Amino acid sequence: MDCGGFCSCRAETQISAVIFDLDGTTLNTEKATKDVLKDFLAKYGKVLDKEKEDNRLGKMHKESAASIVKDYELPLTADEFSKEIIPYYQERWPQAKALPGANRLIRHLHKHGVPFALASNSLRKHVEGKISHQEGWEELFSVILGGDEVNSGKPSPDIFLEAAKRMGADAVHCLVIEDSVVGVTAAKAAGMKVVAVPSLPTQTHRYSTANSVLHSLLEFQPEIWGLPPFEDWVQNALPIEHLFVEGIVSKGDPRDGCTFLSITADESSSESLPDQVSGVYFGWARLGTHGIFKVVVAIGWDPHSDIATTIIQPCLIGEFNEYISGEQLQLLIVGYIRQLSIEENNLGGFDTIEKDKSIADGALDLPMFSNTMSSPLLAESTCRGSGCCE
């Protein structure tokens, strides 16, 4: 069984409790707030260094604040920096959305009575502020911990050990889900199993100590860890919280009943996609004045880029023989089919396989998916073409 990247797929011990990280693992706060530090530094004539910020990922705010002030030689103390920048982050928190698969897993564990905790290096009051915008989260988590409630934050194991203690669980029977290297280090130091869903998708080699490395929580399989399996797949298709992308088509390439589109995604649209969204999806595509079509969408990474650059490759299902160039494209992604292979994830040679098209085609005829075509996100259009919903 391929559990994504490198991993030890079968747990050696039965997992009885789960501990989640917050930022970048369950909540897309890092995308929602991504320009805050950059804009803040610009006020002081400084330029953000992405490598330094990647290395700060997951660390305590107090520690990060001190190192930011030092690294950028800001004319502020760490406390002054924090007081000045935190309100800018708080303004963005309401925009943060649950990462793909997070709500699904949280509600699944709650349904089956599996205790689960939230353990973040953020201050407890900031944790509460962030999750207050997510329906039900405050009530669903068995335990909520902030970094200021333990002696030392991650990479120290303190916060995970305290979470386990409050849940009445042994550390050896706990599974941690993390996105940062410091979080993985802390979980291993606590003697716990850990699944990494990296916020640094092009640097998975840094997560080699994790028991499993996934591209998305949609790939998570509870039964591997002795937890109750999901039961929400419908004919090999998984309903998901909708994703929306807009772009311009540069060309269309008809192949075997599926027209591959090369698109330039709208910057604000593609930037709204989480980093942890790799996989094969399906949904609806509105193509300019041509109508609304069924579509399979592969999302992966540009292997030739030094930074994490998302590649979106839609394929209209059905015969479509018209020349396409410069057309506006709207993608409403409503379901998930599978993870990409290691080779496909770099999208150097992704080619939608017949099974993907068949699953998407059949699923989009089901009421639970076909009804989504009327979403207000897709402008009204006259549906036509053999790949279109009839």
Q: What are the Cα distances from residue 337, in Å, to 162, 282, 375?
A: 37, 7, 21
Query: What's the CA gap between 80 and 255, in Å, rounded?
Result: 59
β-strand 143-145 against 327-338: which pairing, if any? unpaired
CA–CA distance, 173 with 311 (Å, rounded to integer): 38
Torsional sign, CA 189, 190, 196, 201:
negative
231 near 239, Cβ under 8 Å? no
Run of H or E residues at 90:
helix 78-92
Looking at 2, 21, 39, 148, which residue is catalytic?
A: 21
- Active-site residue, 23 included: yes
Nearest to residue 328, comparing CAs of 274, 247, 225? Answer: 247
Q: Which residue has the tokens 């989009």?
A: 364
Amino acid letter, 8? S
CB of 297 closer than 8 Å to CB of 236: no
SS3 138: helix
Mark whether 39 is an active-site residue: no
Find, among 86, 118, 90, the residue nearest to 102 by Cα. Answer: 118
**Encoding tokens for residue 305?**
């880029």
Are the C-beta atoms of residues 30 and 122 closer than 8 Å to each other?
no
- Element holding 241 (H helix, E strand): strand 238-255
**Could you give the CA distance from residue 160 to residue 141 in angstroms, rounded to a whole number?**
14
The answer for residues whose C-beta is within 8 angstroms of residue 209's C-beta and 6 or more apart is 184, 185, 188, 194
Catalytic position from the list 2, 23, 306, 361: 23
Residues with catalytic function = 21, 23
